[in-house]
Structure 1
Amino acid sequence: MTHGLTLPTRGELQLLKEQQVILDNAGAGICFIRDRLIQRCNRQFAHIYGFENPDQLVGTSSEQLYPDSLSFRQLGVRAYPSMLRGERYTTELQMVRRDGSLFWCRITGNLISTDSPSLGSIWIIEDIDEQRRASEALHALHHEQQLILDHAMVGIAFMRLRKITRSNQRMAEMLGYQLEELSGISTRAFYPCDESWEEAGQRHREVLGRGDMFSTEIQLVRKDGSLLWCDLRSKAINPDNLDEGSIWILMDISERKAHERALLRAHEALEQRVAERTRELESVVANLHREIEERRLAEERIRHLAQHDSLTGLPNRSLFDQRLETQLQQAAATGRKLAVLFIDLDRFKHINDSLGHHEGDMLLRTLAERLRQGAGHENTLARIGGDEFVTLLNNVEPYERIEQLIHRMQNALTPPIHIGAHEFSISASIGVAIYPHDGSDIQTLIKHANTAMYRAKANGGNRYHFYNHNLDREAVERIELRNALYQALRNSEFELHYQPQVSVVEGRIVGAEALIRWNRPGKGMVSPACFIPLAEECGLINEIGKWVLENACAQLKAWQQCGLNLRVAVNLSASQLDDPCFYDQLQSCLERHDLQPEHLELELTESTLMKHVDHTVELLNRLDRLGVHLSIDDFGTGYSSLSYLKRFPLNTLKIDQSFVRDLCIDPDDAVICRTIISMAKNLNLTVTAEGVEQEAQLNKLAELGCELYQGFLFSRPIPANELTRLCQEYIPPEVGRFAI
């Protein structure tokens, strides 16, 4: 009698032997784990970890295979959620052999049954240490290439996202840096001001995106603050994706520029001497004919005042129209083509508002004189109001003459202007209309040139654009979009989506960021990138911000009532911070929905924080005393300094996704993330990583000590009801139970 036990049959015993032979001869290590104890493994598994036979491992804890207890626990946290969904979990990590040596391996695991996780899991181990050594050999090859670059006679650097990733010794010498200081540095450090840096970025992205070589002569700043002129040339590595980077070549042309300036000064001095001699001669002639000429000069003075701008001395709109009418009549008779150029100074109003009346007039007179010199005496330049000018080119054949004139005027504006203690670099946006193709009368030509100018300004400024009839259609579409935006608030066309914010270690949803979406009737979803700038331009951004805050608080209260303990983050604009009523509106909203302030987080960008520092510090201190959480969004992309950062009562730093994207492949991004996290910990701030899309990124962030993350790896932004369901169906991982 077997007392209820059934002995295995001969066929079953044979099957077990065959399975054991297969396991023992498999090329990869295979093991069976239950409660993180090794129940069974093949001979290859034992050999990989330095054991003579599998019996030495059976019944022991798999923790002995890890370098430390932390990595042992972390794998459990990462592996369990996907395995519980019936998915295969695969990753690469360092483990330890019996003799204590570390090696790299690839592990793959599956639960035996997702319905009964306690039955254990099967794991396959592959030794990939040789592959890792091959990767290190590739790194050595990169080093050899760097040696070649270091012996070049010109400065060479590789850029990505306007940061230097690699450079040669000559580049460092030209700019006054040590070679290692250039790695990861932003190119902003080489420009005299933010405006010139941004303008250069706009110009070179357009050229590189076409696959062309970008070439220019530009004035840069050395580390010690001294200036140098460079011949700069650039080529994109991949024109279809500029984020892959570009190569830059610099040649120092400061000496040549110095010679050119000396020649220009000599030429100006000669012109001044000629002008002085001419004035002396005119004075003698005038004295001889004073009585006769007085009446004629008075008449001419009156006529000049009627036809010229009193501030700049340029022809006014009336005189310009007369000359244009004359040229139009001649062109109609001869078949010639004319061009009208409408010129608007970029950001002049903002600069002029910061100056006094006298200094503002001096600046405008200087700019007008430079434009006059660029236009030349043969072409009419007129000021028609404010910072707007028009130029008439009465012979546009060949067409290249138009672009030559534009380049002369742009070059005339390039040198910085010194007014008192201030230095300014001002560019211009230029629109072009051609007779008779773009109009046959004065009003139409000027109107179309003005429309083309606005397109040039919309493209970033310091550009020119030729009129085409599509611009009228685009202007109409922009007006329609603006009108539709006014109706969107009244018609409840906006909605909020929420992206979960998740604990890196626990895998638990702790909060969500509220993101606005516009479901425009008949048009579908409109990108926030299209309507948010328009809302700021037409003054609707505060109303939209109030709507977002109100609806986010209402949803937060609804979640609390169904038992969900979350913190909701809302983005703030600079305009909202400038609103003196914002604090009272926020406090009223919290009271209306019966919310504790600590459940609401307000996100601000670095540029918003730095706009009016003293005012912002005062407001944020009031919000902090109220109990609201405060965070910096897209940290690392602005220009805030630690001395200012310490003044703000912040709770959270959010690492911008541009640093997370290449975290596992770009050492510079890893250093930046490590630095931000370390700095945040020293300031007692929580760190949230944005844009996490890969398991490897999450593992690296865990290694660096990041607390929270959000991104497509866990979830895209989703409607509130989907987030509610996601939180309610969420199963907290049983840390360390079902992983190797």
Structure 2
Amino acid sequence: MGSTDSLNHILINAIQHLPIGIFWKDIHGQYLGCNKHCLSLFDLPSEQFIIGKTDAQLQPALKEKQLPNKALLQTDQEALIHGRSVIAKTMHMETIYGQGQFEITKIPLHSHTGKIIGLLGIAVDVSSKFRSEQKLQEKTALLNSIFDALPDFVIYKDMQGRIVECNRAALKLAKKKKTDVIGKTVTQILPESTAKVSIDYDSQLKSNYKSANYKMEFELAGRQVYVDVHKHPVIQNNQLVGTVSISRDIKERRNTLEKIATLTKHDQLTQQLNRATFLQELENINQQHSWGMILIDIKKLGKLNSQYGTEVGDKVLIYVGGMIKEMAPNAAHLARIQGDRFAILTDQVSSPAQLNYLCNKLIDRLNRKIAIQGQVIDLAICIGATNYPDTIQDTNKLLTCSEQALLRSRKNIEQNYTLFDPILEAHAEAEKRLIDDLKQAINDKSIDLYYQPIIDANSKSVLGVEALARWHHPEQGLIMPVKFIDLAEKNNLIGQLGEMVLEKACQQLAQWRAQDIDIFMAVNLSPIQFNDPQLISKIKHDIEYYDIPAHRLEIEVTESALMESNQTAENMLAELIELGVRLSIDDFGTGYCSLSYLKNMPAHKLKIDKSFVDELEQDKTTTAITRSVISLARELNITVTAEGVEEESQMQWLQAQQCDQFQGYLFSRPLPSDKFCQWYKTHHTTDNNITYQQPVKTMLSLQVL
């Protein structure tokens, strides 16, 4: 065999074993041969079978399998006529493996004289590549759809700061078309100062490859925006190729939070400081100055409300608040610290003579008949005042001493105002005896617990109870919690009282669980108890000793306590939550904490105070705030309990706002343990078909521990 024959043999053998389809034809389109892979691919019996046949002649033998379409056959003619290779890309063909995509190359064959004598076809299966490209296109289309649907403003910039891509929200914000921004820099779109901030953060990101977050406010397209910006590096092959900015307009959210924060620091009716804010300012006053405090009570405001309605009563409060503001010294701290009580704290009126003058002036202006909504109101006030340091030597006693003076004025019909006199402290003797009795009651554990049901708003099932302390004094009878709890807090007894209440509550919960009463127990903690470093261990001990699930114990902390809490208290609350105990913010709305605090304190529940529930659909501001609080809590996944629900109309309004739980006289008063068991079993056996009770309007609402 000659060298030429040997080489031909090697080439033919190589072609036969190549993993791609190879065939060759003459200039008339008749097959001259093909390799084994081509036969296998199209399920042809042998090479001899195709020799001399055209594609049309092979069609009957291939049955339903399709040979190359007209476009592919056209490439035969192009290769033969023009004498150059022609590639038919991604041709759809049927093979033994099913539908496939092929890239077929047609190469003209020449004789030794250069004449075209046929063509060589090479069929490469690119199905896998085609499918990958198709999936990539689908994925890209999906991502583009998501990208454009995002409500946030997304902008991608290259290393030169030119905008490469942005989504629909960003274009809408700028009120521009995409063609107007692509290729531009932020300096061409944003205000100069804003663009500089963006460029500075881009520079930092390019140097440290770290994401950045910042907020900025600017005007764009006639609109004031306040955005929260997150910048991230875009890295390819370990190289920074650009930056992506994701921004969200939080102006409305900020305005809402600022409005709520302002509302929470002020009395909503008179716009003066509320009690919590006033006490905070009192705590921070400069003790190097002289100070005077005046408390003003509106006499018989409750009677005015009953006689003329709360709308008239509110007008009276607004009138009195306005007069006080008009007559008080400039820069005085003015507050409405109780329903019918106002306070003035000033360092410009501090001597007894100055206080006497201002008190007389207030009485002269406010003790008179006024006309409100066609009604003639016989307005009367009483005043208690004190000063520092002439009369008292401790600023912490300004409020309590003023209250003692006010109490004297309230009791003395003929005396409109009283300046505190140390002699008044003699009246504290009775209080001292009461403190001793309270100590004994705590030691004897003779303070009882009553339990008020907490109801599911939808099913009306009993979810839990709040444990309320009741002191039946052997001589004085029932003493209101507001009185003995205040005594306990002021006389370092609140820790012992709180421990006793917690232990009794856990013990009772364990007994109920043994009776198949599976509910949670809510127990109040005083802010003073957080000064006890052993508080958490004591709570843990009671949970373990009485073998109750931690999540069935709910600790209630007042809103004002949260606002005044220090880092130690916050750490304790975090430990409680880690223990499994649920945290509830009590009397929400009265302490007026910043709602932003809820983001940082993972509370499970907040309880809307009865004072808000009482004014639903009567006071627009109260109603709006209550609606906002429920909505915000729902967004933060915080359960909401409405306290003091006494009317079916209140319940229906709260249900419409998707309030989660109810507590109040409409369902049940606080009950001793045995009566609660009877109440629970009665309602439990009747599928919680609770009979609503009509509230007794003359009864006082008890404040609880």
Q: State whether TM-score is above 0.5.
A: no
Greater radius of gyration (CA): 2
TM-score (norm 1): 0.43
RCO greater where, 1 or 2, for CA within 8 Å and sep 6 or more?
A: 1
Q: TM-score, normalised by structure 2?
A: 0.45
